[in-house]
């Protein structure tokens, strides 16, 4: 990753290409990212499942737990808070999240460094 990549917003796709509550995988500056539009919000997380080790999070199951937007891994069903990346089932596991926004109808992602 280049030193300035975490400062730049990368255009990914038109907003209308995202189906509500369904994930889409995208390659952003060499990083596989899973994008979700749910509850009127945009979320971007690493596509790499931190438990299973496969790039599958874009195929995860979107839902909610106690009003918190969540993503369940399609492999072993661990559930993650889409706002923070924290695993709700395994307290020591986190899914790296990134910033996502929509500008002029285009979804953009800004990568975050390892937390």
| 3-28 pLDDT tens trace | 434 469 999 999 999 999 999 999 99
- 113 pLDDT band (50/70/90 cuts)? confident
Count of the separate structural domains present in the chain: 1
Q: What angle do CA 62, 36, 57 make, to 5 degrees?
A: 65
53 lies in some domain: yes
Report pLDDT for 5.
45
Q: For 26-71, write each residue's pLDDT tens digit.
A: 999 999 999 999 999 999 999 999 999 999 999 999 999 999 999 9
Domain extent, residue 93, equals 5-110
115 lies in some domain: no
Distance CA 92, CA 87 (A): 8
């Amino acid at each position: 990753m280049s030193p300035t990549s975490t400062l730049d917003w990368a255009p990914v796709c038109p907003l209308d290409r995202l189906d509500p509550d369904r994930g889409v995988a995208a390659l952003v500056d060499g990083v596989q990212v899973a994008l979700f539009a749910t509850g009127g919000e945009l979320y971007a997380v690493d596509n790499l499942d931190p438990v299973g080790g496969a790039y599958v999070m874009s195929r995860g199951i979107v839902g909610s737990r106690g009003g918190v937007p969540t993503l369940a891994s399609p492999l072993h069903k661990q559930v993650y808070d889409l706002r923070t990346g924290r695993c709700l089932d395994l307290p020591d596991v986190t899914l790296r999240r990134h910033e996502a926004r929509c500008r002029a109808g285009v979804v953009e992602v800004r990568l975050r460094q390892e937390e």
